[in-house]
Amino acid sequence: MTTFAEASQTRLILKMKFSNYSWYNGCSVVTDDDGFAVLIGVTRLDNSVRKIIPNVHEGVVIKTKIEP
């Protein structure tokens, strides 16, 4: 089970890592079946973006959402 503190720390790490990409639109901590997860908002989601964003980072689930 992922705690809010772990998910928040992962969100900050990923925010610093992805903030230079043009497709990055922000991230937040959301509830998940197994505690908390990080939701990354993107403007486009193609294979090149999927290769960059991991599914799991240090035990925290990473989800993506297309935002305008």
Predicted pLDDT of residue 28: 97
The tens digit of pLDDT for each residue in 18-67 reads 999 999 999 999 999 989 999 999 999 999 999 999 999 999 999 999 99
Q: How confident is the model at residue 17 (pLDDT cuts 50, 70, 90)?
A: very high
Q: What is the pTM of this model?
A: 0.92
- Residue 68: pLDDT over 90: no
Q: Residue 1 contacts by C-beta under 8 Å, 6 or more apart in sequence?
A: 34, 35
Domains, the chain, with CATH or none = 4-66 (3.30.300)
Residue 67 DSSP class: -
Q: What per-residue confidence (pLDDT) applies to 34? A: 86
N residues, the chain = 68
